[in-house]
Amino acid sequence: MGIIRSLSQLLLVCCLILPAVAAAQVDDSEAQQLLTALAESSFKEKKDVVNRIASSGDERARPWLEAYGDNKLARIESSGEFVIVLKNRGRDWTVESAITGDNLGEISRRDIDTIRVNNALRNELEGILSVIDLKSPDEENRLTAARALKGSVDDTLAERLPEFIAAEESDAVQAALTEALAIYRVEEQGDVSAVATLSGSLNSEARAALQQAQNSDDPALAAAAAKAMESIEQKLKMNRAAETLYFGLSLGSVLVLAAIGLAITFGVMGVINMAHGELIMLGAYTTWGMQQLLPGQPGLALILSIPAGFLVAALAGIAIERTVIQHLKGRPLETLLATFGVSLILQQLVRTVISPLNRTVITPDWMSGSVMINEGLSLTLNRMYVIGFALVVFAGLMLIMRKTRLGLEVRAVTQNRAMARSMGIKATKVDILTFGLGSGVAGLAGVALSQITNVGPNLGQSYIIDSFMVVVFGGVGNLWGTLLAGLSLGTINQLLEPWAGAVLAKILVLVLIILFIQKRPRGLFPQKGRAAEG
């Protein structure tokens, strides 16, 4: 075991002392010789060959060693050509030339001889690949390699890391290497001075090292580690608060989209539309339907779903207005009950025509994943897009209300319907267009919701009450009030949920709104005009 350990350390040392300036790429004949030696040597000799490949400076060295470690480096028996296996399922394997990188298509696996690697050498390859990446001219590759070393530095690598740190030009890479070395020194050497380097670090390996040091028999080390952990806990609390705020803003954005159409129709017509949630549901199902029409293209389907969801929900809203609401004007209680009945009909229609089960909408690649702010905070892209989408829709509605004839007529009818009629404005036409616009925006809310939750018949019911709270809190018919109220209520709800629970949080929000309305019955931004005075 001592001999094997000495050989592995020697190998890593040799790899670490690669020249500062990489050698020129070896020619194809030399590359063939290196790979032949790797294939035909014994496992003991392979270590030396791996060292020669790693120190060759050839840009192909990393792909070769990576494929070798994954059992994907092979040789065609008939020609002796070395290949990298791209796909190794079935009888025929897809391969590319290890020398030229050309795709060679499919070859029968019986004609391919895989170059074998044992576990000991595979484990050493991980460190060798990291060191190769530290010599990469690409800063991002060096940073990734430096971060991967955290918690995996051994005795030999620790001796050489100061040289890498001194030679590194990038501050980010240098900091990552310094932290990797400090983790080793705290864990293996109990170095009190290294604790200061880890103070404030959000890396999980650094926190594990400090937690271990807290239990050390050395009182100085334990005290320093405890103090460092306190600073880390403070940072973690701040990051958790930032994450909660982000989730609150994303929820608030959904509430804005869900409520802004309701605010318009409620402000113009005074109609309490209990089917508004089902219009949101129709927009979500439109997104799912577009993905069924365009399988394998979730991004294109989502983009097309924006106008399609708007149109489907707008047409459904106009149909509801023409068949139900127009016959019940001036009778708010009957309108509420009738639209509640329409909501039940729409839910059952979806259950019968599509399915009572939830449907999953595929999130496009460009909306998947997250943006890492630091090692303790990452922001999901889908919610980021939802926030941006809500702001764009809000800006579009503001332009419609401020810069178009429809917007002018809507504001006139909202402030004083009788006076608007006397000025020649066709209030009935305004009602139809306004209800269609508000319903279409509800459809857009459904499109956004499909990216953060499952689509089901009861989707809209989860947001209808919250939407009314946003409208009342912000001020009936006021878009700015709806925006501020939606973002505020979403954030408050997310802040309360961790310690109060989802149900109690909603109750507390409702109580806060009731208390607020007692002081300001017309909301944050009261409606203006004679209608408001009545």
Report pLDDT digits (tens) over 98-107: 888 888 888 8
Residue 520 has pLDDT above 60, yes or no: yes
- The percentage of residues in the chain with a pLDDT greater than 70, rounded to a whole number, is 91
Give the pLDDT band of residue 9 (cuts 50, 70, 90). Answer: very low
Rounded to whole angstroms, how far apart are CA atoms 29 and 34? 9
For residue 383, tell me if it sits in a domain: yes
| Count of CA atoms in the C-beta half-sphere (13 A) of 424 | 0
Give the pLDDT band of residue 385 (cuts 50, 70, 90). Answer: very high
- The predicted model gives 306-335 an average pLDDT of 88
Q: For residue 7, what are its two tokens? A: 């050989």
Give me the pLDDT at residue 528, please: 57
Beta strands, E only, 356-489: 370-374, 377-380
Q: For residue 507, what are its two tokens? A: 């109750």
Residue 5 has pLDDT above 50, yes or no: no
Residue 389 has pLDDT above 90, yes or no: yes
Q: For residue 533, what are its two tokens? A: 């005075």
For residue 144, tell me if it sits in a domain: no
For residue 67, tell me if it sits in a domain: yes
Residue 165 has pLDDT above 70, yes or no: yes
Rounded to whole angstroms, how far apart are CA atoms 467 and 148? 46
**Which amino acid, one-letter code, is at 478?**
N
CATH (domain of 305): 1.10.3470
Beta strands, E only, 305-457: 370-374, 377-380
Residue 526 has pLDDT above 70, yes or no: no
Span of 150-154, 219-223, 315-319 with lowest mean pLDDT:
150-154
List own/partner pairs for 498-506 with CB under 8 A and 24 or more apart: 498/244, 506/466
Give me the pLDDT at residue 25, please: 57
Q: Which candidate, 81, 78, 94, 99, places its Cα nearest to that of 31?
A: 99
Whether residue 247 sits in one domain with residue 114: no
Q: Which candidate, 441, 398, 69, 18, places its Cα nearest to that of 253?
A: 441
- Give the pLDDT confidence of 107-155 residue by residue, as tens digits: 888 888 888 888 777 777 776 777 777 777 778 888 888 887 888 777 7
Domain count, the chain: 2
For residue 462, tell me if it sits in a domain: yes
- The percentage of residues in the chain with a pLDDT greater than 90, rounded to a whole number, is 14
Residue 18 has pLDDT above 70, yes or no: no
For residue 198, tell me if it sits in a domain: no
Output the furthest CA–CA distance in the chain (Å, rounded).
Answer: 101
Average pLDDT of the chain? 82
Residue 489 has pLDDT above 90, yes or no: no
- Of 63, 92, 123, the one marking the end of a domain is 123
Whether residue 115 sits in one domain with residue 255: no
Give me the pLDDT at residue 264, please: 80
Span of 86-100, 146-160, 444-458 with lowest mean pLDDT:
146-160
For the ranges 179-193, 230-244, 252-266, 340-354, the one whose mean pLDDT is highest? 340-354
Expressed as residue numbers, the domain containing 102 is 2-123
Rounded to whole angstroms, how far apart are CA atoms 64 and 82? 10
Give the pLDDT band of residue 311 (cuts 50, 70, 90). Answer: very high
Residue 448 has pLDDT above 80, yes or no: yes
Query: Residue 498, class by beta-carbon neighbours within 10 Å (0-12 exposed, 13-18 middle, 19+ buried)?
Result: exposed
Give the pLDDT band of residue 22 (cuts 50, 70, 90). Answer: very low
Residue 531 has pLDDT above 80, yes or no: no
Residue 533 has pLDDT above 70, yes or no: no
Give the pLDDT band of residue 1 (cuts 50, 70, 90). Answer: very low
Residue 388 has pLDDT above 80, yes or no: yes
For residue 524, tell me if it sits in a domain: yes
Q: Check residues 417 and 471 and name the one with the higher pLDDT.
A: 471
Q: How is 457-507 classified by DSSP, letter by letter? A: TTTTHHHHHHHHHHHHHH-TT-HHHHHHHHHHHHHHHHHHHHHH-HHHHHH
Span of 268-282, 441-455, 495-509 with lowest mean pLDDT:
495-509
Rounded to whole angstroms, how far apart are CA atoms 365 and 62? 28
For residue 163, tell me if it sits in a domain: no
List own/partner pairs for 362-371 with CB under 8 A and 24 or more apart: 362/291, 362/298, 363/298, 363/451, 364/298, 364/299, 364/302, 365/299, 366/299, 367/302, 367/451
Whether residue 245 sits in one domain with residue 115: no
For residue 361, tell me if it sits in a domain: yes
Distances (CA, A) of 253 to 338, 384, 400, 454: 29, 10, 20, 17
**Cβ contacts of residue 512 below 8 Å, gap of 6+?**
492
Phi/psi for 525 (5° steps) reads -125, 95
- Of 58, 92, 123, the one marking the end of a domain is 123
Query: Residue 274, class by beta-carbon neighbours within 10 Å (0-12 exposed, 13-18 middle, 19+ buried)?
Result: buried
Residue that is written with structure tokens 């009572």 in the block: 356
- The predicted model gives 448-455 an average pLDDT of 89
Give me the pLDDT at residue 312, please: 95
CB atoms within 10 A of CB 141: 16
Query: Are the CB atoms for 488 and 256 separated by under 8 Å?
Result: no
Residue 401 has pLDDT above 90, yes or no: no
Rounded to whole angstroms, how far apart are CA atoms 62 and 53? 9
CB atoms within 10 A of CB 223: 15
Give the pLDDT band of residue 281 (cuts 50, 70, 90). Answer: very high
Q: How is 174-190 classified by DSSP, letter by letter? A: HHHHHHHHHHHIIIII-
- Give the pLDDT confidence of 166-204 residue by residue, as tens digits: 888 888 888 888 888 898 888 888 888 888 888 888 888
Q: For residue 281, what are its two tokens? A: 């549901």
User: Which pTM value belongs to this model?
Assistant: 0.71
Q: For residue 422, what are its two tokens? A: 């006397």
Residue 12 has pLDDT above 70, yes or no: no
Residue 303 has pLDDT above 80, yes or no: yes
- Give the pLDDT confidence of 246-259 residue by residue, as tens digits: 988 988 898 898 88
- Of 105, 123, 141, the one marking the end of a domain is 123
